[in-house]
Amino acid sequence: MKQILIDRFLRYVAVDTQSDPESESFPSTSKQLVLANMLVDELKQIGLDEVDIDQYGYVMATISSNLDREVPVVGFIAHIDTATELPGHGIKPQQIENYNGKDIVLNAEKNILLSPTDFPDLLRYVGQTIICTDGTTLLGADDKAGIAEIMTAAEYLIKNPVIKHGKIRIGFTPDEEIGKGVDFFDVKKFGANFAYTLDGSGPGELEYENFNAASAKVKIKGNNIHPGYAKGKMLNAGQLAAEFMGMLPINERPEFTDHYEGFFHLLAINATVEDAELNYIIRDHSRSIFEHRKEQIVQVAAFLNQKYSREVFSVELKDQYYNMREQIEPVFHIVETAKQAMVNVGIKPDVKPIRGGTDGSRLSYMGLPCPNLFAGGHNFHGKHEFIAAESMVKAVETVLNIVAIISSK
């Protein structure tokens, strides 16, 4: 299975599937459809039923039940696109067999190393096969590792019909990296009772909590007067922007928070004397604290408007997604099933909150409860991205054990 996974993974990462946050089409890039159509052909060759790609690039397929009774329909989902921070084309993966725990030279010419000094997670994989970049591109383990694992699990079930299972649905989505991954996902068509995304990091990772998220656009209207005659008349929008920023808690920025701590994150600032705009994202796992954070933004603007006796500040708030825990807790058995599956394959479950969002979060609020499982990769979105082939094997085994547990009930 290990070599099958490696070959499949390398075949997928060779296809450039970066999404484009500036695009108005869906999917945002046509090159994502290249891999999507490859997957359609491969799913048909493996022998799955109901293989389909729709107008938006969503790939769906079915492994039909071979049981004589009804059990819940489970789905497994991964995303096709890769991030935009580094090039996604011309990927030249390196395979390090029997990793010795020392520095890996990614690029000698540019002196780029993958070192356990900087990335201690590497030491978890001593003796294993590491797949990494050449230091100039993404690897694409996020989330082509998840795709390879789901495909390999599906092929294993098709080739081994003696393994009893209920109906299983497979889904591959575009544009996850730009926050649009399930904009047109047809939950009813998918037809699963619940699902799992395979988009997490190291073995054992299991996530069913994520941030509540909102954006805040703060517009500031100044008053530009010739500086030689500005006394008592000028309102410098740039200075007002700085005043606004200074009224939010300094210790509640991303660089000072971890675990369940939320934050205000200034994404961008654009300022002149006449006009300024601050773009924030607001994050918190607690819904009540999340709502309080949004109110803080509004209150600061209101206070400053009162201070300057005019409507200098205006705020536009937009909720983006919510903590899927609210949707998972009523069906918490799906988390327990995943934990048991990991234990069955010799992995200690590592349950942690996501300090971000996933397709699974939005799907959960669309009626498809969807925790996130490990896919095995590390250092996503950067040149130091790597994955151990053995982690991909464990992910496949976890999927197969989830299927077995559900089918045994």
Catalytically active residues, by annotation:
81, 176
Strand partners, 387: 131, 377
List phi, psi (to 5°) of 371.
Answer: -65, 170
Q: What tokens appear for 68 in the block?
A: 């004589």
Distance CA 293, CA 290 (A): 5
**Residues 91-110, buried b or exposed e (16+ Cβ, 10 A)?**
bebbebeebeeeebebbeee
One DSSP character per residue, 141-153 reads HHHHHHHHHHHHH
Residue that is written with structure tokens 């969002």 in the block: 357
Q: What tokens appear for 381 in the block?
A: 């979105």
Closest among 271, 169, 156, 279 to 215, alpha carbons compared: 279
One DSSP character per residue, 34-77 reads HHHHHHHHHHHHHT-EEEEE-TT--EEEEE----SS----EEEE
Distance CA 338, CA 317 (A): 36
Closest among 252, 302, 244 to 277, alpha carbons compared: 244
Closest among 233, 201, 214 to 380, alpha carbons compared: 201
